[in-house]
Chain A
């Protein structure tokens, strides 16, 4: 469980990135943190694994205050995948990259081997095992960064913009992967701008604006409230846009899923026929 209590955070240059944020994330939750560039999303999630410590307020991870433990201990529990994979990749081969943290955490050679094979296979990277990460495409490098964190099996996964540069199929794989993580009781927190990805996965949505939380709730409700979204520079998912325009017909507005949309439209047309 991650508990954030009235957290303020200022960078050394004086910019106040968080202005009193309170939030509780329970184990096994899937949370999407959304909001415009500079809203404080990344600053907030960096508090979850102790990369940043609050200037004011408290952050507790599984009951332990982050100021009272080491980043190394916190990192073992919460794996962080950065927005720009180039900020975390440095090894000569994909395999070495994935092995790095495992070696640091002191896993046995045999386990390391298994974990590498598992993680590379899961993220369709097996063919690049001996390749330099820097020869790969942006989307592929992003998956290498994810594989290297997954490999040590953290309880909480924090993914900063995981869908950037990923194609449709990979997003689908990522979505299924998140579902799988949840069934294992793991917590997944993503920072994202990708409204369509959020619409497809319907997580809890935390909407931020200028260092504060402006909305917190079910994705289907928040992503269909244009007034709330507009202040965070988020646009409605395509299906929600359609239902906004169909409102004069008396159809519900809170629809974000294609298949829900189909059922509602078919039913409404059926009723008109009668």
Chain B
């Protein structure tokens, strides 16, 4: 089942002559973990802003083409309607948090939707537990660490029970260990609850292993769209400034040197280490 579909989607910010995104036609299936990447300024954040209707409802400018998300034409449905189906998590959680306590922040969206009190607290508790911040619920979101703040932002989105979560570089301000934990939480939401994940990231070293679909954009256009192993094994992706995972790069280099390795392109250090151990065994 297709959850997100765009056809020739083109958008130009006000006061700018060149479109930031042009002729984007993509499909995202229910339950997929999609990674969107590409050089800075390639249009990936612009595309994400279309998924919940921020474009065109909050950004002026010109949107052309078609977009359907969770069976809704985002240009005809307001963002508060979209919010029930699509949750957006930004790069910097500080911009999203404002309530006096973490649990109130997580409850805010539900209050706005008029969810009955009892159900609301049930959903808040569920979201806080899933993201591992239940014990912090009475603290102010501004006195916890950056990693915990990002969990609050994710919990707030989860409480809305969206079908799709869109995350725009959600861990760039976090230390590597906190970042890894956030990605693990997202990965679990995807695998256990079947929530469709759209993740915008530059750092493929950290994220490629979770993806079952990758979309690479450049200069506002989609240039690769499909299976991550296939796409990250091509030479061209490197040319447009996508940093493929180091493990994948080392694999390509060793293959070129004529080393006999499994044909399934590795996306993580674990996968490559396993292949190398096998390669060494066969040489014994």
Residue positions of A touching B, CB distance < 8 A: 35-38, 83-84, 135-140, 161, 164-171, 193-196, 199, 230, 232-235, 237-239, 241-242, 245-246, 248-249, 258-259, 261-262, 265-266, 268-269, 272-273
B253 touches A139 (CB 8 A): no
The yes or no answer to B221 lying at the interface (CB within 8 A) is no
Q: Which residues of B in the span 147-194 have a Cβ within 8 Å of any Cβ on A?
A: 147, 169, 172-180
B246 contact set on A, CB distance < 8 A: 196, 199, 237-239, 258
B274 contact set on A, CB distance < 8 A: 245
Not counting A246-B276, A249-B280, A272-B284, a sample of 20 additional A-B residue pairs whose C-beta atoms are within 8 angstroms of each other reads: A83-B173, A135-B13, A137-B40, A164-B173, A165-B202, A167-B40, A170-B39, A193-B175, A193-B179, A199-B246, A234-B176, A238-B245, A238-B247, A239-B246, A241-B269, A242-B250, A245-B277, A249-B277, A262-B257, A272-B283
Which of chain A's residues has its CB closest to B256's CB? Answer: A262
Residue positions of B touching A, CB distance < 8 A: 13, 15-16, 38-41, 45, 91-92, 145-147, 169, 172-180, 202-203, 205, 241-243, 245-247, 249-250, 253-254, 257, 259, 268-270, 272-274, 276-277, 279-280, 283-284
B257 touches A164 (CB 8 A): no
A165 touches B91 (CB 8 A): yes
Do A166 and B40 contact each other (CB < 8 Å), given the known contacts A37-B178, A234-B176, A238-B247? Answer: yes
CA distance A95 to B242 in the complex (A): 29
A265 touches B276 (CB 8 A): yes
Q: 7 A-B contacts, Cβ less than 8 Å apart?
A: A138-B91, A139-B40, A165-B172, A167-B202, A168-B243, A241-B270, A269-B283
B279 contact set on A, CB distance < 8 A: 269
Do A245 and B147 contact each other (CB < 8 Å), given the known contacts A37-B178, A135-B16? Answer: no
B249 touches A258 (CB 8 A): yes
A248 contact set on B, CB distance < 8 A: 277
Cross-interface CB contact of B242 among A38, A161, A167, A242, cutoff 8 Å:
A167
A84 touches B92 (CB 8 A): yes
Smallest CB separation, A50 vs chain B (Å)? 25
B259 touches A37 (CB 8 A): no
Smallest CB separation, A99 vs chain B (Å)? 22
A167 touches B39 (CB 8 A): yes
Cross-interface CB contact of B177 among A38, A233, A246, A258, cutoff 8 Å:
A233
A234 touches B39 (CB 8 A): no
B273 contact set on A, CB distance < 8 A: 241-242, 245-246
B41 touches A139 (CB 8 A): yes
B205 contact set on A, CB distance < 8 A: 196, 238
CA distance A136 to B13 in the complex (A): 11
A37 touches B254 (CB 8 A): no
CA distance A37 to B92 in the complex (A): 14
Do A234 and B40 contact each other (CB < 8 Å), given the known contacts A245-B273, A246-B276, A269-B259? Answer: no
A266 contact set on B, CB distance < 8 A: 254, 257, 259
Closest 8 CB pairs of A and B: A168-B243, A169-B241, A139-B40, A245-B273, A241-B269, A233-B177, A238-B246, A272-B283
Which of chain B's residues has its CB closest to A239's CB? Answer: B246
Do A233 and B175 contact each other (CB < 8 Å), given the known contacts A245-B270, A269-B283? Answer: yes
Cross-interface CB contact of B269 among A36, A167, A238, A272, cutoff 8 Å:
A238
Smallest CB separation, B184 vs chain A (Å)? 12
Which of chain A's residues has its CB closest to B268's CB? Answer: A238
A261 touches B250 (CB 8 A): yes
Do A239 and B283 contact each other (CB < 8 Å), given the known contacts A38-B145, A84-B92? Answer: no
B242 touches A36 (CB 8 A): no
B15 touches A135 (CB 8 A): yes
Which of chain A's residues has its CB closest to B243's CB? Answer: A168
Which of chain A's residues has its CB closest to B90's CB? Answer: A138
A37 touches B146 (CB 8 A): yes
A84 contact set on B, CB distance < 8 A: 92
CA distance A262 to B259 in the complex (A): 11
